[in-house]
Amino acid sequence: MNPRPLVRSLGQLLVAATVAALLVAAWTTWRIWDVGNRDERPRADAIVVLGAAQYNGRPSTILKARLEHAIDLYESGVAPYLVVTGGKADGDVTTEAAAARTLAIARGVPATAILSEDRGRTTLESLHSVAAILHDHGLQTAVFVSDRTHMLRVLRIARDEGMTAYGSPTATSPSDSTLDDRLRATVHEIGGLALYFVTGETP
């Protein structure tokens, strides 16, 4: 039996699969950057800030950039409520949500205007809980704040959770402050989206 036709077919299949994977990655990259460059800020019921690392109550530069943008939206009258999110990692003494809440109050946001989701350790966990919080408070529409590369995944999950979601990414996050940083973040998001579509889970 001549193995050459089989080898040739396998080689063609491998080339086709590689080309398909590259096309999907290119399309996803374009979608991540396109959505991340849009700033939607309609009047809404709430502004939701995605959590990021904190250090003993001190927000990381990424969390601070997200929160400051969200506070600017709140002060501009985009929504009457600010929802802070994020639980804590092993060994942490407080949560991302608590650190964000403290900073928001220090910046003049009334405590009564802040709602907290403080258990989520992933984007999916946080947004699942945010959907319940909005429902319990009779809130339907929300503007979501995160990094530019994160927005596509955030909005997809939020809409899958039944929320009417808009995106207003921060442009000052160090996660995409340079082209190299943005490319690394984009690769991470391609992986996160692939995991979500295949398994329903997400980092």
Asked if residue 140 has pLDDT above 70, the reply is yes
Whose CA is closest to 32, among 159, 164, 143, 194? Answer: 194
Q: Average pLDDT of 120-139?
A: 96
Distance CA 95, CA 18 (A): 42
State the Rg of the chain over Cα: 20
- Residue that is written with structure tokens 């009457």 in the block: 80
pLDDT of residue 8: 63
| DSSP codes joined into one string, 31-67 | HHHHHHT-------SEEEEPP--EETTEEPHHHHHHH
Top pLDDT among 18 and 177 is at 177
- Residue that is written with structure tokens 């955030």 in the block: 154
Asked if residue 13 has pLDDT above 80, the reply is no
Residues 101-120: tens digit of each pLDDT: 999 999 999 999 999 999 99
Residue 90 — very low, low, confident or very high, per pLDDT cuts 50/70/90? confident
1-5, 24-28, 62-66, 95-99: which range is least confident on average? Answer: 1-5
Q: Is residue 53 classed exposed, middle or buried when 0-12, 13-18 and 19+ CB atoms within 10 A define those classes?
A: middle
What does DSSP say about strands 81-85 and 114-117: parallel, antiparallel, or unpaired?
Answer: parallel
Q: How far is CA 185 from CA 36, 110, 190, 191, in A?
A: 12, 33, 9, 10
Token pair listed for 119 = 């258990």
Residues 34-82: tens digit of each pLDDT: 999 999 989 999 999 999 999 999 999 999 999 999 999 999 999 999 9
pLDDT of residue 167: 97
pLDDT of residue 37: 93
Distance CA 162, CA 57 (A): 31
Residues 157-196: tens digit of each pLDDT: 999 999 999 999 999 999 888 889 999 999 999 999 999 9
CB 151 within 8 A of CB 144: yes
In the DSSP assignment, the letter for residue 141 is: E
pTM assigned to the model: 0.90
